[in-house]
């Protein structure tokens, strides 16, 4: 892993479609608004995009903590953008401030942590614990 600077930023955009709505994705009793799991997805992708350029070949960064408030209901048809800014780096652990907007206002905000991992070591540990992956 190359040094990751505090202040590095990334983003990830998503056009909200019916499949992203709580009423479709989770339970039909819920309102037809952008679901929290998809909010977390765009924030995690924004964080990964903030540090991708600092990862060495064979490395990735896995999410290890998410603390997000979903602030505003967003309907289908809106473009949502997740943003992430590195706030701290402690060895392989990277902390982020994360927030999302829908073109008009902030719809979510919080913090996120990722840990830089060796994909080879991760897969070896998975095989040792669970056996070989299914074909």
> Which residues form the catalytic set?
36, 44, 70
- Alpha-carbon distance of 68 to 63, in angstroms, equals 13
- Alpha-carbon distance of 123 to 60, in angstroms, equals 12
SS3 content of the chain, % helix, strand, coil (to 5): 30, 40, 30
Burial 9-18 (b: 16+ CB within 10 A, else e): ebbbebebee
- Alpha-carbon distance of 13 to 29, in angstroms, equals 27
């Amino acid at each position: 892993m190359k040094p990751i600077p505090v202040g590095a930023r990334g983003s990830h955009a998503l056009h909200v479609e019916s499949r992203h709505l709580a009423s479709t994705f989770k339970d039909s009793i819920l309102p037809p608004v952008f679901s929290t799991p998809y909010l977390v997805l765009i924030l995690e992708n924004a964080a990964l995009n903030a540090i991708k350029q600092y990862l060495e070949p064979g490395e990735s960064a896995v999410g290890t903590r998410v603390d997000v408030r979903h602030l505003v209901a967003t309907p289908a048809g809106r473009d949502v953008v997740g943003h992430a800014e590195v706030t701290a780096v402690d060895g392989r652990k990277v902390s982020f401030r994360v927030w999302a907007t829908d073109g008009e206002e902030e719809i979510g905000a919080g913090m996120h942590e990722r840990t830089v991992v060796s994909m080879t070591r991760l897969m070896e540990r998975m095989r040792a614990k669970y056996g070989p992956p299914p074909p």
